[in-house]
Structure 1
Amino acid sequence: MTVRAAWLTNRGDAAGGQTRNDSRMTPLGTMTPAGELTTTPGVIPGGNPFALNATGPMTATLGTGRAVVQGTDIQGAYPAAITAPETLVFVDGDPTNPRIDLVVLRVYDTAFDASGQVRPAVEIIPGTPAAAPVPPAAPAGALGLYRVAVPAAASAGSGGIDFPAATTDLRRPTVAVGGINPNPDAPGAYRAQYRDNGTGLQRWSGNAWVGMAAELVTWTKVSLAGGYGHNGNSNGDVRYRVIDLLGTRFVQWRGGMNVSYRGGTPVRDGAFLSAALPTLARPTGLRSVPVACSAADSTIVTVKIDFLANGTATLLSDDGDAPPWVSLHGVMYPL
């Protein structure tokens, strides 16, 4: 068999019972709770599990992969695997209206569903043709993998299905309890659960997903206006990045900046950026921060920078103080 399930058949069943190879092939350790007795269903990440590839106008294959299929609460969850590509044959389209079909990985267990069958299977659940078709619901004991829109009058002779355009991917990953789920839409199930939302880690607090630390904009070298230069006091180029820390966005800065003066005032009235920061890096209001500066030609060792909501920034120093460089290391403020 190329479609397998564990904890489904007994030794005396017609299906022959679960073999040791079935146990090795199916994901027995993947059990993220969805409730007291239920498991979060989904595919096991790694490679491209259950990839759908067109093989003809009305045919496709469903690739190899592993998954967990949840039955009813008392029924439990079934580890399942496809070990060789399965052929999918879609029925010709309705003469008048389109429909939406559902591709599922399904587990039959007659002890719970009265189906008279004890086996896993890959199936196409046909939708109802309509002018505005809706996809069919997944049957009990089935994991939805894809929706495929079948045009009216589609057939091998009429060009069939444009699979890339017609297919909606329903695959959602699931992981072992304590694992980090790569599904950005994973529901929260228990406090201290983690997921990767595509930009960083989030933790389920018991009520909501809370951001951990995510780098939204990587370290970016700014373009300085005339009269200002990078690597002041050998502190490196002036750079910034945007991070998400526990749900709040911050801008961090680093590097050193050489400063020129005219009449005791920083040139360009302290406007040291040659271009405004991008929208994602602009604060919602004024952010005034202290920065270290050279003690040379200065009676102080810190000056002020104002970061403005329009993406500009202004260096301010006291009258009579003209430190030749400032350091932005350690500067951080919320957006």
Structure 2
Amino acid sequence: MDYDVIIIGAGVTGCAVARELSRYRLRIAVLDKNWDIGEGTSKANSGIVHAGFDAMPGSLKAKLNVSGSQMMPSLAKALGIPFMQNGSLVVALSKDDRLHLDELFERGLKNGVKGLRILSRNEALEMEPNLSDKTAGALFAPTGGIICPFRLTSAMAESACINGVTFLLRTNVSSVSRTDEGFRLDAIRYDEFDPEGDRDITLSSYCVINAAGLYADRFHNMMSEDKLTITPRKGEYCLLDVTAGRHVGRTVFRMPSALGKGILVSPTIHGNLLVGPTATDLADKEGTFTTASGLAAVNAPEASAVKNLPMKEVITSFAGLRPCGDRGDFV
């Protein structure tokens, strides 16, 4: 066998698994089709560590949301990267929204989220004066936090690499199959500096871990009769200058819908202000382009639960794709 463990995908999940397994005497390789780690969903998202009140009780998502939130302060310290537990607010903008706050509160309690509180309109505005004038109340989760997702990914990759993990980037896995002893992986290794160009390689491993993000369904379906479909959901964002970074101190959500948590407003770990994302399902798993309609939706005055957003301070926009499975839960 070439390796004991092969991990497909060098995003935040793949690098986290690699770092954890590198504590043991194992031959580990991480494969990714891109030229660097964290080039997919992991580099273009909200940079939020969710408290875990939104996920359905008993789901794997709820379990991992809450445990991940609890782990992040010590993990960030161990990695030497910045993390801020700034807390989050889900803002009710109507009487109907206010009733749903109780549902989120109860869900959060069942999930084990600590410190949850329902705030009155006045309490919410005292905490965040720039909330919408329509604010009817809010759910406060003090354990919510913010982090730089790419720095988190790279720090875990560096730690794994120091511990002996091999990273094979520019390596596009084309097939995974079972063997008598484990698994065989066929891949194309891209190298524009190699006179021979791209070359086919074959690797073997006792164990394969699927952390391929948007493409995880492809590898899952190669090995399982229980087929899975992942749809890319595009989120477009605007990033504002540090001059706008103190417009809110906490991550501010509107009441969640079936498509997600809506347009949020949040400080970033670097002191900027982030507004977004939209939520548009695509067929293209590489469709990280921004659109005029998407950015207009982010810029709409009523899109978020925060008023007087200084959108003239936008310094860039971007889009990311998050994998949405057809099971309604993590797999």
Q: TM-score range by the shorter chain?
A: under 0.3
Higher strand share: 1
Higher helix share: 2
Structure with greater contact order relative to length (CA < 8 Å, sep ≥ 6): 2
Q: Give TM-score scaled by structure 1 length.
A: 0.20
Q: Give TM-score scaled by structure 2 length.
A: 0.20
- For the pair shown, the structure with the greater C-alpha radius of gyration is 1
